[in-house]
Amino acid sequence: MDIQWHVVTDLDAGRREAAEARIRKLGEGQKDLIHVVVHVEGSNHHQHGAAEAKIRCQAKGRELIAHERDDEPELALARAVDVFEREVRSMREKRRDHRGTARPMPVENDGDEEVAVGE
């Protein structure tokens, strides 16, 4: 899994490393997360927090996006990682549920009975 960072604001290095460790842990033993881009920047928007964090991930067959805002860039990043973890787990759970459903077995006819089509 490839992780790219785009940081346009001051961000504590320890928090950045912790966030990257959490993201890498999600990819351990799995091959579904291909490319992750983490974007953290300050914002001057009057109704939202002063910082925002967005995590975009190219996963097998889909794109996952986690976006959060907060007053502090570190808090926005931590919240975005929380959302990203939930998205990854949800994606994997849906895949497991889909694979876990068994196909109906065809009914074998030994020739003694008539079988109506569509019933």
**Which residue matches tokens 């967005």?**
54
- Residues 5-58: tens digit of each pLDDT: 999 988 889 999 999 999 999 999 899 999 999 999 987 665 666 899 999 999
Burial per residue of 76-87, b for 16 or more beta-carbon CB atoms within 10 angstroms, e otherwise: bbbbbbebbbeb
What pTM does this model have?
0.75
CA angle (39, 41, 42) in 5-degree steps:
165
Distance CA 11, CA 7 (A): 7
Give the domains, in start order, of the chain with CATH numbers. 9-91 (3.30.160.100)
- Residues 71-107: tens digit of each pLDDT: 889 999 999 999 999 999 999 988 777 665 555 555 5
